[in-house]
Amino acid sequence: MSEIQARPSKTDSGVALPAYQMRIGGEWREAVSGARFESVNPFTGEPWASVPDGDARDADAAVRAAEAAQTGAWGAATGFERARLMHRLADIVERDAAELAELETRDNGKLLREMRGQMDYLPAWLRYFAGIADKLQGDVIPSDRPNYLIYTRHEPVGVVAAIVPWNSPLMLLMWKLAPLLAAGCTVVVKPSEHTPVSALEFARRVDEAGFPPGVFNVVTGVTPEVSRALVAHPGVRKVAFTGSPGVGKAVAQAAAGHFARVSLELGGKSAQLVFPDADLDAASNGLIAGIFAATGQTCVAGSRLLVHHRVQDALLERLAARTREIVLGDPMAADTEMGPLANAAQFATVSGFVERARADGARVVAGGRPDPGHGGLFYQPTILTDVRPEMEVAREEIFGPVLSVLTFAEEDEAVRLANATDFGLGAGVWTNDVRRAHRVAHALRAGNVWVNSYRVVAPNVPFGGTGASGWGRESGLESVREYTETKAIWIELAGATRDPFKLG
Active site residue 299: yes
Three-state DSSP class for residue 335: coil
How far apart, in Å, are the Cα atoms of 232 and each of 212, 235, 237, 242, 461?
25, 9, 10, 17, 31
Distance CA 194, CA 107 (A): 7
**Residues 494/143, Cβ–Cβ less than 8 Å:** no
Q: H helices of 210-333, where?
A: 225-232, 245-256, 280-291, 312-325
Sheet bearing 216-218, strands edge to edge: 27-29, 22-24, 216-218, 186-190, 159-163, 236-242, 261-265, 470-471
Q: H helices of 257-399, where?
A: 280-291, 312-325, 344-359, 392-395
Three-state DSSP class for residue 261: strand
**Residues 418/306, Cβ–Cβ less than 8 Å:** yes
Question: Strand 470-471 relative to strand 261-265: parallel, antiparallel, unpaired?
Answer: antiparallel
Active site residue 265: yes
Longest Cα–Cα distance of the chain, Å, equals 85
- Selected catalytic residue, list 67, 193, 201, 265: 265
Q: Classify burial at 384, counting beta carbons within 10 Å of its beta carbon; exposed 0-12, middle 13-18, buried 19 or more.
A: buried
Give the distance, in angstroms, between the CA of residue 500 and the centroid of all CA atoms in the same chain: 52
Expressed in percent and rounded to 5, the helix, strand and coil fractions of the chain are: 40, 20, 40
CA dihedral 19, 21, 26, 31 (to 10 degrees): -160
Distance CA 469, CA 466 (A): 5
- Selected catalytic residue, list 67, 299, 337, 397: 299
Active site residues: 265, 299
